[in-house]
Amino acid sequence: MDMKKATVVFAACLMSSLVGWSKAPEIPRDTSFTAYSTNKKIRKYHPEAVLALPELPAGVREYRDVVYSTLPKTPYGRRDLHVDIFRPDDEKIYPALLMIHGGGWNSGDKSLQVPMAQQIAKNGYVTIPVEYRLIPEAVYPAGLHDVKTAIRWVRAHAAEYGIDPDRIAVSGCSAGAQLATLAGVTNGSRRHEGKGQWRKTSSDVQAVISMDGIATFVSESNIADAEERLQKKGELPVNAKWLGGLYKDSPENWKEASALLWITPKSAPVCFINSGLPRYSDGRDELVAVYDSIGIYTERHRIPVDVHTFWFFHPWFETTVERAVGFLDRVFKGEKVAPRFKLTDHGVANDSTVVQTAAIQRVIDKAETMGGGEIIVPPGTFLSGALFFKPGTTLRLEEGAVIKGSDNIEDYPLIPSRMEGRSIYYHAALINAYHVDGFEINGPGTINGNGYKFWVQFWDNVERAREENRSWTNLEVRRPRLVFLWGCDNARLSGVRMINSAFWTSHFYLCNDLIVENCEVQAPREPVRAPSSDAIDLDGCHRVIVRGCYLNCDDDGVCLKGGKGVFAHKSHENDSVTDVLVEGCVFGPNLHGTLTLGSECVHANNVVLRNCRLDNDCSLLRLKMRPDTYQVYENIRIENVTGRCGSVVEVLPWKQFFSLEGTDEKPVGLIRNISIKNIDLKCNGLGVIAANPDDKVENFEFENVAVKAESDIFRCNYPDVKLKNVTVNGKRPVIMTADEEMKDKLNFDAVDLDKNNEK
């Protein structure tokens, strides 16, 4: 070919390619929804939230951007759709979980699922974040058809990636959850299948996990909301855009995309994990009711926060992963599914006026005799005295369910118990579990202590004692606690609301590997204060996680206990409190201390409080130093705390109910290795470190602490306490000491303490 002809051919090819290129414009993408834009939005109101970042765990391998489908002809040319794959780094066969991102059907991408996919994979699953077509590239049913195609691809390539083709699940978040539920409910539905690749392979799944996604579009509220949004903003809301118009314009799409309308015996089991925002639960309860009627397994979990995208953030990320893995294990790995014992199915009346302790206890006892089970409290109020949970039993309170405590102390028998650092006979709590390993209390319902009568009696007794100029104790007025667990390893309280306790709200004695998560714990100051209503008391416990809780009682928030008295450190009944993590919690205005060590604590070690928000008038870290008890508080870290409080630290003597028990002992306390770092607070002042005269303080350090305060004075009796980059109102604090008289005045509880009780 001569040069002239070659030039002509080259030009023709170039023009052809340019014409082809012009016919395939770039795919339009809405990039408004990302992890980082969400992080900025959420942390404005929830600074305790910490974005979960991608991190490939040890023992997990990955495959990125694997093509699962090629669409040869689209308005944007040839179109590849991709998945990422994470799996244990071995040659075993595992169940698979296809994971669908959210973003309102118009934004987001598969990378949003990667942090969760990586963590679930290390638990023995092949996790597969999936790409699917969004508005404006495509509208319904394209996204559903992409998901169905991806499921077929996973099954067709199961051998290649070590997947069990008979154990495939699908999960989704928000809009992705709607798609996941629809995909799993419509097993076997040709109408929903689409015309994608791998048509000879089944798209059925064996389990669904829905995270804050709706199960129906055709509720009256959804239909009306879309019309109202159009009228207000002059454009279709995103759900109507995706479905091809308002309900009146596109009713078939609205119905076809509503999982609730397509349930059959072939539908897959579903686990719902929801936030505290009701709009994202639309259709869930109705779907569960239909599933129950035809015998298909479901689970409902609630993370009671007003954060729709809770799965992005610590501390809720961990709960989400654990709930997802637990559900998958039960469906795919033969983990026992506990029988369910609904109170009203076993002779308990939905009647808030009659004490039904015996009837409820019979249900618990029946569950134990049958090998264990989950005690279900349905919506309604059930009045009860002390209940005792047995090995193999757990408690679940459904939304709207209330166990309300009797206000008659005779309904709480005297039994071996633990109070104020001593093992004694005392009244049982409302909810009790003794040596029940694996015990759980799950919300979102409420345990209401109904403590008003006891509070009034307590303060009446205090007033009489003061008038008579005599000492008094916290135990003179007999009051039940709300929850008491003794020797329960691997226990968990999750998503439950605990309110109005007559005494300590939740008390854990000698419990190891304990989790308290996403709970709301409240007791009032008005109209009557709820005395000694500590939110969480850890008494001789080891390896404890408290995360995502709202704590607001008329005493301490998280309180570490373990014994008091001259010989407490030698008694076999007492124990240290070690390895405690408190994170992502909010501490409310009624508290007397945020994190408190004492007043009955002999040894606390390795305690971390981080990423929390304060809205109170007390101290962030409170160390109560008893002059009648040998105490060691060591290796305590406080970091990344924001909000409002009374002071950053309060280390002072605690002399209430002081007694040397007739000995000549002179107990001393040791405080060492304390770090308070990255603190940004509004408060009254930096606080006080002024323990008993012989107590020792070693390696106590503040770093990167900035407070806006009414006073720039920091009371500190220990010159070796280090302040690195610590400012009060932009300046270095003024350091002064505190004498014994001032120590008494600086105590947060000075108004409640009586000198008569120090004798």
In this structure, the number of other CB atoms found within 10 A of the CB of residue 214 comes to 24
- β-strand 506-509 against 483-486: which pairing, if any? parallel
Note the pLDDT of residue 754.
Answer: 55
Do residues 177 and 237 share a domain? Answer: no
CA distance 608 to 98: 36
Q: What percent of the chain has pLDDT over 70?
A: 96
Do residues 54 and 133 share a domain? Answer: yes
Q: For residue 620, tell me if it sits in a domain.
A: yes
Nearest Cα residue to 326 out of 394, 277, 258: 394
Residue 519 in 3-state DSSP?
Answer: coil
Token pair 């204060």 in the structure block, residue = 529
Do residues 542 and 610 share a domain? Answer: yes
DSSP for 317-362 reads: HHHHHHHHHHHHHHHHS------EEEGGGTT----TTSB-HHHHHH
In this structure, the number of other CB atoms found within 10 A of the CB of residue 573 comes to 14
Query: For residue range 408-420, what is the model confidence (pLDDT) as tens digits?
Result: 999 999 999 998 8
Do residues 225 and 309 share a domain? Answer: no
Q: For residue 3, tell me if it sits in a domain.
A: no
Confidence of residue 25 (pLDDT cuts 50, 70, 90): confident
Q: For residue 74, tell me if it sits in a domain.
A: yes
Do residues 250 and 271 share a domain? Answer: no
Tokens of 93: 């066969």
Total residue length of the chain? 759
DSSP 52: P
Token pair 């929801």 in the structure block, residue = 274
CA distance 514 to 272: 24
Domain that residue 585 falls in: 534-656+666-749
Q: Which of 332, 356, 373 is the last residue of a domain?
A: 332
Q: For residue 428, tell me if it sits in a domain.
A: no
Tokens of 78: 């040839």
CA distance 503 to 533: 5
Tokens of 205: 């799944």
Do residues 579 and 724 share a domain? Answer: yes
Q: Output the domain CATH number for residue 327.
A: 3.40.50.1820
CA distance 267 to 210: 14
Query: For residue range 368-379, what is the model confidence (pLDDT) as tens digits?
Result: 999 999 999 999
Distances (CA, A) of 357 to 349, 351, 387, 414, 453: 11, 12, 7, 16, 19
Q: Which of 226, 257, 288 is the last residue of a domain?
A: 257
| Alpha helix stretches (DSSP H) within 91-233 | 114-121, 142-156, 158-161, 175-185, 220-233
Confidence of residue 334 (pLDDT cuts 50, 70, 90): confident
Do residues 224 and 93 share a domain? Answer: no
Q: For residue 365, tell me if it sits in a domain.
A: no
The amino acid that residue 372 corresponds to is: G
Q: For residue 230, tell me if it sits in a domain.
A: yes
Do residues 185 and 221 share a domain? Answer: no
Total number of domains constituting the chain = 3
Handedness of CA 386, 390, 393, 394 (dihedral sign): positive
Q: For residue 157, tell me if it sits in a domain.
A: yes
- The answer to whether 427 and 413 have CB atoms below 8 angstroms apart is yes
Do residues 244 and 223 share a domain? Answer: yes
Q: For residue 161, tell me if it sits in a domain.
A: yes
Residue 287 in 3-state DSSP?
Answer: helix
Query: For residue range 500-514, what is the model confidence (pLDDT) as tens digits?
Result: 999 999 999 999 999
Do residues 97 and 187 share a domain? Answer: yes
Q: Taking all residues of the chain, what is their mean pLDDT, rounded to a whole number?
A: 93
Do residues 222 and 274 share a domain? Answer: no
Nearest Cα residue to 595 out of 360, 603, 583: 583
Peptide bond between residue 129 and the one before it cis (omega within 30 degrees of 0): no
Nearest Cα residue to 46 out of 278, 281, 313, 317: 313
Q: Which of 332, 361, 390 is the last residue of a domain?
A: 332
- β-strand 593-597 against 577-583: which pairing, if any? unpaired
Beta strands in 500-658 (DSSP E): 506-509, 512-517, 520-522, 536-539, 542-547, 550-552, 556-561, 577-583, 586-587, 593-597, 603-615, 619-625, 631-644, 647-653
Stated pTM of the model: 0.92
CA distance 644 to 662: 43
Q: Output the domain CATH number for residue 624.
A: 2.160.20.10
Do residues 244 and 95 share a domain? Answer: no
CA distance 581 to 541: 12
Residue 639: pLDDT above 80?
yes
Query: For residue range 663-698, what is the model confidence (pLDDT) as tens digits?
Result: 988 999 999 999 999 999 999 999 999 999 999 999
